[in-house]
């Protein structure tokens, strides 16, 4: 049998399985999917889980079933690329012929003292559940500090305002306006949306230290009853620990077929991969389609195609349940339309995968 081991059933891993199962899989191929969770988690919705507007059940999807697929629920603890073996936490080892690493990303704390210890996270489903519990148990008028005014910080602040309008929410961001990765028009629109709803945006902030219930902005203490960190990401620790070439963000540099250059049987998908765009679910899925194609060619012992550049259609963000923002086909969008589009994409995704 040709053994494919797929690490991580996230957006990248799921799309690879979907593409492979859409065509006849060679009978001599066995696939093992490893994930710490017994379901695919919709990470793009973690902000809503944490805010309390989406249920846990709403953001989970079952992994596919297929006669050639074994799903293993376990924690990957080591990658031995020289021996073609993956180690799991319970001492089990999984040998492979081909490997796909799709383990996603983690919070990046930029060496801010206390940030890891004293802030909450929305990077994993279990961390988002803990954040949900803290945020939703706060008393009236409690202060919530959210550090990082990118897509996930903005979505969390707006959703939390909708869920708990009694809370005082402060969104801290380094830039002059939030959403620095988006056109200025969108940043200004979102900033006004927050101002109209008394969500405070603290621009040009610099969080120097975090202590229990205190954020230090430019060294000045700001009391918060709860603090959520959304100020940066980095690839999974297992990927950061690999002795292979990486880019400035610690993502693995790949060849034109999405393989580690010196390991021609190892692919990397999604947030762990160095790609020409910022990490996103959409990017992970587009890349996954190409990886599935390469795997199919390899199994048929056909020559590998030269792959076209990956294209992403755009990014959409929500501001509560009624408004949104985003860029689609290079056009900035604000208001109800991007929100409807985002809900529609989620509905289609769940319908297609569920
Ligand atoms: C709040 C928020 C909102 C976002 N909104 C958007 C959006 O609107 N649009 C968009 O395109 N992107 C969005 N993103 C980014 C998007 O979620 C990621 O880019 C995407 O999930 C990356 O897919 P992936 O397959 O690389 O990893 P993931 O989807 O993160 O999957 C990784 C998988 O690996 C598993 N795993 C990790 N470590 C281990 C281990 N040691 N052992 C076993 N299993 C492990 C995890 O359980 C998970 O299932 C958002 C992210 C966040 C946090």
Task: Output the residue whose Cα is nearest ligand 1's atom 46.
Answer: 8
217 contact partners, CB below 8 Å, separation of at least 6 = 172, 202, 205, 206, 207, 208
Mean pLDDT in the chain?
Answer: 96
What is the pLDDT at residue 40? 98
What is the pLDDT at residue 80? 98
15: helix, coil or strand?
A: helix
- Which of 17, 32, 43 has most ligand 1 atoms within 8 Å of its beta carbon, as the pocket-test mutant? 43
**Cα–chain center distance at 172:** 21
Residue spans of alpha helices (H) in 39-124:
46-51, 115-118
Cα distances (angstroms) measured from residue 172 to each of 22, 177, 179, 183, 351: 45, 10, 11, 19, 36
The residue count of the chain comes to: 354
**pLDDT tens, position by position, 130-141:** 999 999 999 999
pLDDT tier at 3, thresholds 50, 70, 90: very high
**pLDDT tens, position by position, 11-59:** 999 999 999 999 889 999 999 999 999 999 999 999 999 999 999 999 9
**pLDDT tens, position by position, 295-334:** 999 999 999 999 999 999 999 999 999 999 999 988 999 9
CB-based burial label for 110 (10 Å; 0-12, 13-18, 19+)? exposed
Token digits of residue 236: 């999974």
CA gap 148, 217 in Å, rounded: 12
Q: Ligand 1: residues whose CB is within 6 Å?
A: 8-13, 34-37, 41, 43-44, 46-47, 75-76, 102-104, 122-123, 151-152, 155, 236, 270-271, 279-282, 284, 315-316
CA gap 175, 153 in Å, rounded: 13
**pLDDT tens, position by position, 241-283:** 999 999 999 999 999 999 999 999 999 999 999 999 999 999 9
Instruction: Find the helix or strand (DSSP H, E) in which 80 lies.
Output: strand 76-80
Token digits of residue 176: 């002059």
CA of 162 to the centre of ligand 1 (A): 24
The residue-averaged pLDDT of 168-196 equals: 95
Q: Is 80 exceeded by the pLDDT of residue 168?
A: yes
Cα distances (angstroms) measured from residue 97 to each of 6, 241, 298: 11, 21, 12
Q: Is 80 exceeded by the pLDDT of residue 354?
A: no
Q: Report the percentage of the chain scoring pLDDT > 90.
A: 95
Output b/e per residue, 56-74; b: 16+ Cβ within 10 A: eeebbbebbeeebbebbee
CA of 184 to the centre of ligand 1 (A): 27
- Which of 8, 45, 108, 126 has most ligand 1 atoms within 8 Å of its beta carbon, as the pocket-test mutant? 8
What is the pLDDT at residue 351? 85
Q: Is 90 exceeded by the pLDDT of residue 223?
A: yes
**Partners of 105 in the β-ladder:** 235
Contact 215, 109 (CB under 8 A): no
**pLDDT tens, position by position, 94-107:** 999 999 999 999 99
Residue spans of alpha helices (H) in 241-326:
281-299
């Amino acid at each position: 049998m040709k053994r494919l081991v797929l690490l991580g059933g996230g957006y990248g891993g799921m799309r690879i399985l979907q593409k492979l199962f859409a065509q006849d899989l060679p009978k001599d191929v066995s696939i093992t999917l490893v994930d710490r969770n017994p379901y695919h988690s919709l990470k793009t919705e973690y902000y809503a889980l944490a805010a309390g507007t989406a249920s846990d059940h709403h953001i989970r999807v079952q992994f596919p079933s297929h006669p050639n697929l074994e799903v293993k629920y376990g924690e990957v603890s080591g990658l031995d690329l020289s021996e073609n073996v993956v180690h799991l936490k319970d001492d089990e080892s999984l040998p492979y012929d081909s490997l796909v690493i799709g383990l996603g990303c983690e919070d990046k704390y930029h060496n801010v003292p206390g940030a890891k210890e004293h802030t909450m996270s929305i990077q994993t489903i279990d961390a988002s559940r803990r954040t949900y519990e803290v945020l939703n148990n706060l008393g009236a008028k409690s202060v919530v500090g959210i550090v990082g005014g990118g897509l996930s910080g903005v979505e969390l602040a707006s959703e939390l305002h909708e869920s708990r309008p009694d809370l005082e929410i402060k969104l801290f961001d380094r830039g002059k306006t939030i959403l620095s990765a988006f056109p200025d028009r969108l940043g200004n629109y979102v900033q006004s949306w927050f101002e109209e709803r008394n969500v405070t945006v603290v621009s040009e902030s610099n969080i120097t230290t975090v202590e229990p219930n205190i954020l230090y902005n430019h060294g000045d203490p700001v009391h918060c009853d709860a603090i959520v960190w959304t100020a940066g990401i980095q690839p999974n620790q297992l990927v950061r620990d690999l002795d292979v070439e990486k880019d400035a963000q610690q993502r693995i540099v790949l060849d034109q077929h999405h393989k580690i250059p010196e390991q021609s049987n190892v692919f990397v998908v999604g947030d762990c991969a160095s790609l020409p765009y910022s990490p996103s679910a959409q990017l992970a899925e587009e890349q996954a389609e190409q990886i599935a194609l390469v795997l199919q060619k390899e199994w048929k012992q056909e020559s590998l195609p030269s792959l076209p550049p990956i294209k992403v259609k755009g990014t959409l963000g929500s501001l509560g349940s009624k408004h949104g923002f985003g860029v689609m086909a290079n056009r900035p969008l604000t208001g109800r339309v991007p929100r409807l589009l985002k809900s529609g994409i989620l509905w289609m995704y769940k319908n297609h995968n569920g």
